[in-house]
Amino acid sequence: MAKRKRGKALGSVESDSKKGRGERGKIESKADDVIASQQREEAVAKCSKSNPHLRDVKSRAVFVLENASLTKGFVHKKKKILRCNEDGNSLLRQGKNPNDYQPDIVFEALRAILDSKLNKAGMVGAIYVKTDAGLLLEVKPHVRIPRTCKRFCGVVVDVLEKSCIRSKDTGDVLIRMVEGPVTRYLPENARITGLSYSSQKSVQIKDYVSGISDDFNPVFVVGAMVNGKVSEEYTNDYVSISDYPLSAKYCLGMICHALEQKWSIF
């Protein structure tokens, strides 16, 4: 019987330098990457057809995730993004607080945005992640990130080392490091809103979002950390959307849902 030849993986996301680095360089297979792009384009076309008014909406939502824990370290002589549930003992031996190393927060936050109907309808303009070390990453809205935090952290290691990763299929930039501050990349007509449980201004997110004119690009700054609050320095408004502390994932879900209702995306 003739041996069946094993085919190569359908595709992967490659760093700008070397290929063939295994799972660390992959976001999804080529097929999944293409399907994700096609699904997004189809969803945009379908949404525009069923909601003609969207064709006239020039504004796009922008998200900034602040203080994300994406610290690169060495564990057993291997480079990785430090995680409290995997590297807790090692961090304690170094006198560090394991709770400060939770990349799963920004991972879940990104999935809340990227998997939303808002993004699939093409209404997310840009996503930026500012790490707790002050580095700034740009995540393209069309990217399909890994489904597990471990694989996501592997991709982040590549980004921190190589500055950029691209789709092997199209060569498009998917995630890259950019120079700060983030304000240099925001639209001129941006209306920047910081969200924090500590804010004295409490709003209903649905009413608040509905009140933002489509002449502005709404920018939402959300913390991706365990403790602390986002900076007020570059915001036009600083609000709280709940009487209780919310996870970044849940907060972003509320924002996306409110924007979907505003623009009639169902």
Q: Could you report the per-residue pLDDT of 177-201, keeping only the tens digit for each?
A: 999 899 999 998 999 999 999 999 9
Q: How confident is the model at residue 47 (pLDDT cuts 50, 70, 90)?
A: low
Domain count across the chain: 1
Query: How confident is the model at residue 78, as a pLDDT?
Result: 79
The yes-or-no verdict on residue 6 having pLDDT over 80 is no
Does 188 fall in a domain?
yes
Name which residue leads in pLDDT, 252 or 5.
252
The yes-or-no verdict on residue 17 having pLDDT over 50 is no
CATH number for position 211: 3.40.1280.10
Does 7 fall in a domain?
no
Query: How confident is the model at residue 24, as a pLDDT?
Result: 39
Query: How confident is the model at residue 266, as a pLDDT?
Result: 81
Supply the mean pLDDT for the chain: 81
The yes-or-no verdict on residue 141 having pLDDT over 60 is yes
The yes-or-no verdict on residue 215 having pLDDT over 70 is yes
∠ CA 245-233-143, nearest 5°, is 70
128 neighbors 53 (Cβ within 8 angstroms):
no
Does 190 fall in a domain?
yes
Does 114 fall in a domain?
yes
Question: H or E element: which one contains 174?
Answer: strand 173-178
∠ CA 70-72-78, nearest 5°, is 140
Contacts with 221 (C-beta within 8 Å, 6 or more apart), sequence order: 64, 66, 192, 193, 194, 195, 230, 231, 235
Calculate mean pLDDT across residues 83-89.
66
Does 4 fall in a domain?
no
Name which residue leads in pLDDT, 24 or 232.
232
Query: How confident is the model at residue 79, as a pLDDT?
Result: 84
* Tens-digit pLDDT profile for residues 26-40: 444 333 443 455 556
Calculate mean pLDDT across residues 64-74.
91
Amino acid at 202: S
Domain encompassing residue 163: 21-262
CA 15, CA 12: separation in Å to the nearest integer? 10
Does 11 fall in a domain?
no
Q: Indicate if the alpha-carbon torsion angle 171, 173, 177, 180 is positive or negative.
A: positive
